[in-house]
Amino acid sequence: VTDLRDCENVIERGLATFFEVGDALGRINEHGLYKVAGYRSFESYCAERWHLSRPRAYQLMSAAKVVQELSTVVDKAVPNEATARELAKLPTAERIEVWREVSETTSTVTAIAVRKTIERRSEERRAEVIPPCAVCGVVLEWPCWHCLNCGTHVAEGDADNTAGNLA
């Protein structure tokens, strides 16, 4: 008979190790410690010693770096590697803002919640930078063929533009 609590403890310990593994790989890479073991490169060390691809090793190191950075400025710890990897896509200042927002607005912080927050914030920034069409409200990142040729989509405040001159 398998005890659920025992299994969950194993899972919990495993989820927490990504930080320790990433941090250790980062130190090995940063200090060239793989050379002491006779490897010519960090990539060959990871592949031969740990069967880790270069991208996977860097994912772990990046996730660990995010956890380390956030641990000094926020109270709630990053719960897992997937969440840390989503946050790693952002510059440090924005990473902190997104983490605080997600932590305050959701009961369970997940990678999906972080990704959705990042996407929403990106859309909000895009809407601020790119004005919607005054005719139909569509936000275009660049004028489409239709806009350039007949002027249907025009910038806010330029609704009289019917020749398609968006420059």
- Note the pLDDT tens digit of each residue in 71-110: 888 888 898 999 999 999 999 889 999 999 999 998 888 9
Q: What is the largest CA-CA distance in the chain?
A: 76
**124-130 mean pLDDT:** 72
User: Which token pair is 120?
Assistant: 């929403």
Closest CA to 108 of 82, 69, 71: 82
For the stretch 29-49, pLDDT in tens is 999 999 999 999 999 999 999
Confidence of residue 132 (pLDDT cuts 50, 70, 90): low
pLDDT higher than threshold 80 for residue 131: no
